[in-house]
Structure 1
Amino acid sequence: MTDFVAADGLARCKWSGAAPEFLDYHDHEWGFPVSDDIRLFEKLCLESFQSGLSWRTILTKREGFRAAFDGFDFHKIARYNARDIDRLLNDESIVRHAGKIAAVINNAACAVKMVETEGKLASFFWGFEPNAEDLGPPQSQSTSETSIALARELKRRGWKFLGPTTVFAFMQAMGLINDHSEGCAIRAAADEARRKFQRP
């Protein structure tokens, strides 16, 4: 894969040059490990909304999503009612898809239950961190054995709109794997962050 060379002369993952919004996200978020439950839940929701759309569409609307969904506080979202659904369906700052909105509310209730049993969402998700040797070269796959297993387990627990491909994208973004290309200038920083990261 040919990398993208940014204005600073350093190579990055090719996809980071596809839109102006991508570079900052690529350099400071994508692939860096996350243990915050709200951020993990938010990312799962946004990946679900992305299904059938481009990530650029979702990223440019991210602040709108955060405002509309109470900062992705899943305890609050789990209590949403018909009035909230109507509000969201009329909110132009987000993707107004009835099925995906319903899935976020459903998944928030599932997240609340998971926290009750697991203590933290992070403890559950990081339990699916794959071994690097079980993965192919960076950005060579869209699913993995662990993303399939995680998607299956989420489905068993009642989560919706989260298949193996969506879950794999979540794992890439939240640093459960370092999928920055071998020539990417950020790969080493993501590796270092993962090395220092305290697994929950």
Structure 2
Amino acid sequence: MSKRHSVKYKIDRRMGENIWGRPKSPANKREYGPGQHGQRRKGKLSDFGVQLRAKQKLKGYYGNISEKQFRKVYAEASRMKGDTSENLIGLLERRLDAIVYRAKFVPTVFAARQFINHGHVKVNGKRVNISSYQIRPGDVIEVREKSKQLALVLEATQSAERDVPDYIDVDHNKMTATYSRVPGFSDVPYPVQMEPNLVVEFYSR
């Protein structure tokens, strides 16, 4: 998998939560953080600490996006009309890797990134290999014909671990997904509580 694949569960351990809701997560057995100091008693977080943690959790959930890229998404959300936290979630859920993951074409968001980078995905009939590509309502995402029988894809589509949200219409027989609308925060099936309002507070300090 991608470079981050081998360390992705450290995000779970650091947060003390199973942020992807996966049964393999070590956070299910060890709620303390990774490393030799992970079991130290944790003090009460400051307001800044709470905001930072909320940002790290949301950023980590989407494949541990780089800080530069995540800040860019926030800046775009703040320029848009309406609630910035809702805009932030809408932009993150419009990412191609997020939609490939939501459509259950792959088992994890990390796998989605590599799957896209290796050219297995088309958008409206054209191959796209940029994970952060912004999808618009009505766009059709499909797995390339040669990639439909990959073990990774078959495993993901048959998994009962999670459901496809209602803002994506999926046909697993044809391996296509249509992005029907930009979701609101309450529409997104996060396995744990996300707090985009605290992320907005963090960046607007």
TM-score, normalised relative to structure 1: 0.34
TM-score, normalised relative to structure 2: 0.34
Q: Which has the higher helix share?
A: 1
Q: Which has the higher strand share?
A: 2
